[in-house]
């Protein structure tokens, strides 16, 4: 899955290399590597107030890079330093090799990270706000040792922000058409033939068709879904451009009138191009989440849990949502008065739509082969 591999730099307050606290050996240290733009710098500054600790927050451009770091650190745990619990300082040439206490990871990689032993479980009873987190979010990160959802499993991560797959369209073109898109079924309308940009992802492209047909994004056996291939062929005739990285460019210049994309990309564009509008499909969509995970080979100190808990407090969760322009699992909705009008469709959660939406959960190898071969066959 390539969701946000090529994430554009965000316009939120920069967190380029934030180091807070005096360099005193007797102070606890919290090292965090996070997705750039996902946490505002003022939130870190608030957390540091009154703390006798060193905080180092290092932003990384792409989720894929963070996942690769987890793999590299796992190799490091085989060294004598890791076995003895010796932590390397974040200075000079050692900075890149030091194991962080917390890392941002996309929920799509959670199963693989558990299977490959790249991360270690967290102790939910040390997170005060955990019990207040809606059950759906608790269930997402409670898994067995194979990475599968399991109510009796361990807590492997904590979500701190989320978004969804959305429809973004040109106001001017649809004003001429006299209607506005509201759901996936609108993509098949004759007005949009050759006017759509679609994500070049089997799970996303096939998933939206499954939603149109009343199915889940996580359908294991595509052969059991009647009319699926026929609907995909019809949709392909509507599509002018497939891309997972440049799907907004043809929309901006008018080559396409509608695009399917990820909300975190879209919010960065709406402010610059007021001719664009966005809608979350009312029949449900795909949901993604950014998680805090603890790399294998590190002890989980109290400071780590304090930070996770801090992110889930309602006031801080609201700040993360407003400044990072994303949703928070710790709160249902932001006050309308606090949001830009163009972002309200994204940040005001419709409970009915959310309940109909799906996280992209792990599929069996045979199911993944079905998705990939069907997508390749449709595209010719």
Q: What is the model's pLDDT at position 16? A: 45
Q: For residue 265, is pLDDT > 50?
A: yes
Query: Where does the pLDDT of residue 95 fall: very low under 50, low under 70, confident under 90, or very high at 90 and above?
Result: very low
Q: What is the model's pLDDT at position 76? A: 75
**Distance in angstroms (rounded) separating the CA atoms of residues 116 and 267:** 33
Asked, colleague to colleague, whether 18-162+288-347 and 164-286+355-379 share their fold, the answer is: yes
**Distance in angstroms (rounded) separating the CA atoms of residues 232 and 206:** 7
- Ranking 38-42, 91-95, 279-283, 299-303 by mean pLDDT, the lowest is 91-95
Q: For residue 94, is pLDDT > 50?
A: no
Q: What is the model's pLDDT at position 5? A: 37
What's the rounded mean pLDDT across residues 232-239? 98
Q: What is the model's pLDDT at position 105? A: 97
| Architecture of the CATH domain 164-286+355-379 | 3-Layer(aba) Sandwich (3.40)
Q: What is the CATH number of domain 18-162+288-347?
A: 3.40.190.10
What's the rounded mean pLDDT across residues 182-211? 97
Q: For residue 161, is pLDDT > 80?
A: yes
What's the rounded mean pLDDT across residues 156-170? 97
Query: Where does the pLDDT of residue 84 fall: very low under 50, low under 70, confident under 90, or very high at 90 and above?
Result: low
Percent of the chain past pLDDT 70, that is, above it, reads 84
Query: Where does the pLDDT of residue 10 fall: very low under 50, low under 70, confident under 90, or very high at 90 and above?
Result: very low
What's the rounded mean pLDDT across residues 203-211? 98
Q: Where are the domains positioned within the chain?
A: 18-162+288-347, 164-286+355-379
Q: Name every residue whose Cβ is closer than 8 Å to that of residue 45 and which is 6 or more positions away in sequence.
A: 20
Neighbours of 50 (CB within 10 A): 7
What's the rounded mean pLDDT across residues 22-40? 84
272-313 residue pLDDT tens = 899 999 999 999 999 999 999 999 988 878 999 999 999 999
What's the rounded mean pLDDT across residues 159-178? 96
Q: What is the model's pLDDT at position 271? A: 82
């Amino acid at each position: 899955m390539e969701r946000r591999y090529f994430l554009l730099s965000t316009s939120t307050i920069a967190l380029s290399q934030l180091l807070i606290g005096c360099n005193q050996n007797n102070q606890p240290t919290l090292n965090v590597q996070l997705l750039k733009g996902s946490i505002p710098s003022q939130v870190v500054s608030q957390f540091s107030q009154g703390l006798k600790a060193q905080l180092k927050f290092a932003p990384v451009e792409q989720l894929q890079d963070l996942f690769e770091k987890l793999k590299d650190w796992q190799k490091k745990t085989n060294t004598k330093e890791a076995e003895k619990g010796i932590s390397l300082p974040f200075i000079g040439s050692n900075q890149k090799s030091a194991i962080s206490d917390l890392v941002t990871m996309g929920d799509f990689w959670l199963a693989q990270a558990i299977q490959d032993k790249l991360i270690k479980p967290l102790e939910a009873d040390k997170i005060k706000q955990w019990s207040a987190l809606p059950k759906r979010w608790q269930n997402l990160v409670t898994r067995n040792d194979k990475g599968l959802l399991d109510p009796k499993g361990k807590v492997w991560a904590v979500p701190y922000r989320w978004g969804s797959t959305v429809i973004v369209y040109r106001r001017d073109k649809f004003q001429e058409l006299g209607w506005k898109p509201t759901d996936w079924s609108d993509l098949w309308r004759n007005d949009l033939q050759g006017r759509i940009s679609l994500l070049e992802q089997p799970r996303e492209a096939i998933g939206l068709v499954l939603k149109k047909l009343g199915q889940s994004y996580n359908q294991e056996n595509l052969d059991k879904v009647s009319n699926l291939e026929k609907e995909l062929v019809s949709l392909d005739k509507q599509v002018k451009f497939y891309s997972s990285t440049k799907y907004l460019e043809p929309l901006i210049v008018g080559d396409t009138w509608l695009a399917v994309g990820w909300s975190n990309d879209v919010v960065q564009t709406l402010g610059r191009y007021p001719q664009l509008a966005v809608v979350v499909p009312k029949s449900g969509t795909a949901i993604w989440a950014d998680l805090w995970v603890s790399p294998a080979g590190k002890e989980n100190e109290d400071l780590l849990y304090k930070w996770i808990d801090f992110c889930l407090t309602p006031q801080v969760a609201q700040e993360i949502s407003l400044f990072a322009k994303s949703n928070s699992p710790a709160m249902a909705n932001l006050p309308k008065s606090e949001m830009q009008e163009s972002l309200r469709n994204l940040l005001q959660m419709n409970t009915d739509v959310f309940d109909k939406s799906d996280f992209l959960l792990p599929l069996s190898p045979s199911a993944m082969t079905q998705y990939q071969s069907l997508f390749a066959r449709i595209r010719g």
